[in-house]
Amino acid sequence: MSSAYDVVVEDGFIRVIYRGRQDFETTNRSIADAARLAKQAGITSVLFDFTFADPRGYFAETVRHGEMARDLGMSFEFRLAFYSPTQFDAVDFMETVARNRGYAARAFGREGDAVKWLTARA
């Protein structure tokens, strides 16, 4: 299955739903689309949902996305949650990369925990 995604506005956050194996250019587009939609909606929380994706072995690309995120429109005001019910090691690495780049970010294995964290006011 090729890489695909949807970006939707939910109650208080943007959800990016990935499907299939991760692809660098498609993921860059999804980050830019999420940032653009979030700004239009006045939202600063984004949930990257990997329930239907296969992020295995996507480590070097993850680091590159972290380096490019600001240029793609994802400013440091964003709060980022990375969620996968089956591949926590992958989303945990994404959290580490995002935090190292200066983002407020967390990885989750349970969707409810991710939504609660994203929608809580600091």
Q: Where residue 58 sits, what CATH number does that domain have? A: 3.30.750.24
According to the model, what pLDDT value does residue 21 have?
Answer: 86
15-64 pLDDT, tens per residue?
999 999 888 999 999 999 999 999 999 999 999 999 999 877 778 888 99
82-98 pLDDT, tens per residue?
999 999 999 999 999 99
According to the model, what pLDDT value does residue 54 have?
Answer: 84
- How much is the pTM? 0.93
According to the model, what pLDDT value does residue 60 have?
Answer: 85
Q: Hey, is 14 helix, strand or coil?
A: strand
- The domain of 29 spans 4-119
pLDDT-based confidence at residue 65 (cuts at 50, 70, 90):
very high
Query: Which CA distances in Å does 111 have to 23, 45, 48, 60, 65?
Result: 23, 14, 11, 25, 23
Amino acid at 9: V
Query: Which CA distances in Å does 104 have to 3, 20, 101, 110?
Result: 26, 26, 9, 18
For 9, other C-beta atoms within 10 Å of its C-beta total 13
Q: Is the pLDDT of residue 122 over 80?
A: no
- Side-chain-facing half-sphere of 52: CA atoms under 13 Å: 11
What is the tally of structural domains in the chain? Answer: 1
